[in-house]
Amino acid sequence: MTPLHVAIIGYGTAGQAAALLLSRDGHRVEVFERAAEPGPVGAGFLLQPTGLQVLWELGLLADAMAHGRRVNRLYGETPCGRAVMDMRYDGLDARLFGLGMQRGALFSLLDAAWQGQGTLHRDHAIDAVSDDTRRIRDQHGRWHGPFDLVVAADGSASALRAATGAVKREALYPWGALWRLVPQQAWAWPDELRQRYLAARKMIGLLPVGTRPGDPVPRLSFFWSLPVADFDAWRARGLPAWREEVARLWPEAEACLADTHEPDQLARASYRDVALRRWHRGRLVVLGDAAHGMSPQLGQGVNMALMDAMALRDRLRAQRDVETALSDYQRTRQAHVGIYQFWSRWLTPIFQSDRDAVAWARDVAFLPLGRLPGGRGHMLRVLSGTQHGLLGTLRLEPGFLRTIDGIASTQPFPAPSM
């Protein structure tokens, strides 16, 4: 394709990956970011094999693994120690694993890789797209463009997806979370995502996320589930009372909060359920959470953003006509994203709601279902990001599998938990 003049709105994971991939293909890229000092938003996340494959494509896999922490198992239990969920990647393929990472680490790696390849406009909150979808307007009323392609990667609260004229659903989940990075220290499960549930009303999660550039201290990403409407009441209640509650539910988790003394040390997060009938119009296309925001219950947000960016790059390579390429991009990604939107919508109330009967059924049935031959394979494919449609499997590249096998054999990851 003839090199395009591309505007990317948003410098989160989707915007960063798209900027890097399109710049490397020779397109002239300008990124517009609302923050005066761009940086990561959030604590930590779990990169699945699908997201790791995109980093392999970008040449950033070894750096990501040097900072991240290998995760072999996802385990959830009740406060009395009853197992609810127990899934291991090696049940799908012995070479596969997740990688816990700090958002700051991934942001820094993508930012450093893109430096010098395009223009980053800071403090530019883009709030409108022109009717012909070639120009964009910032918060001061200034218009920029024309562009050959406008990429809206401005997150789940996107101001631009409505310009597609095809928003099907855009709802705020009633439950959100409190997040914080805490020192890993002597945490007993260094290669596991650990969760503890009190019915579906309370959930604590701890994920090893390694280090980030400029900070060599290994950390955990701490998660506390909370209704969005209760954020202010939680703050008014005071930190000591909350920490006492955490200690009752999970003493080892509360010990990780030793240096947590102020409510402002924990970040608040809310989530949206977003679905579009069409991800593009004219020269405008929507990527990442702006196109398909969902609950973090399946841990796929960052992975989907990376995959969206690579799919857009690939379709622009394959088609001369931009609008045809955008249509192909949507068709390619919807087949994968759709099943995750479905499961996210149905699973979220099982883990975050006031429905005690549903939580009881989960505690009784979830683990046995995961041990059935058919159910186990399906759950593991959903976990790893490789479920494609209702029954299909997303193929991972043989070169990628050989690479992670080689890197994993040489890097000092922790020994798997028993």
Classified as helix, coil or strand, 75 is strand
Classified as helix, coil or strand, 297 is helix
Domain boundaries defined on the chain: 5-38+122-173+271-353, 175-268
Q: Around Cβ 186, how many Cβ atoms within 10 Å?
A: 9
Confidence of residue 369 (pLDDT cuts 50, 70, 90): confident
pLDDT at 135 over 90: yes
What's the rounded Cα separation, in Å, for the pair 263 and 266? Answer: 6
Q: Give the model's pLDDT for residue 383.
A: 85
Confidence of residue 414 (pLDDT cuts 50, 70, 90): very low
- pTM over cut 0.85: yes
Q: Give the model's pLDDT for residue 366.
A: 86
Angle between helices 398-410 and 49-58 (to 10 degrees): 90
What mean pLDDT do residues 299-314 have?
95
pLDDT at 228 over 90: yes
Q: Give the model's pLDDT for residue 417.
A: 39
Per residue in 44-95, pLDDT (tens digit) is 999 999 999 999 999 999 999 999 999 999 999 999 999 999 999 998 899 9
What's the rounded Cα separation, in Å, for the pair 267 and 14? Answer: 21
φ, ψ for residue 210 (rounded to 5)? 70, -145
Q: Give the model's pLDDT for residue 410.
A: 64
| DSSP letter string, 89-129 | GGGT-TT--EEEEEHHHHHHHHHHHHTTSSEEE-S--EEEE
Q: Considering only CA atoms, which of 290, 293, 302 is closest in space to residue 53? A: 302
What mean pLDDT do residues 331-339 have?
92
Least confidently predicted of 44-48, 49-53, 254-258, 344-348: 344-348
pLDDT at 288 over 80: yes
Q: Considering only CA atoms, which of 216, 5, 10 is closest in space to residue 110? A: 10
User: What CATH code is assigned to 5-38+122-173+271-353?
Assistant: 3.50.50.60
Per residue in 86-129, pLDDT (tens digit) is 999 998 899 999 999 999 999 999 999 999 999 999 999 999 99
Q: Give the model's pLDDT for residue 43.
A: 84
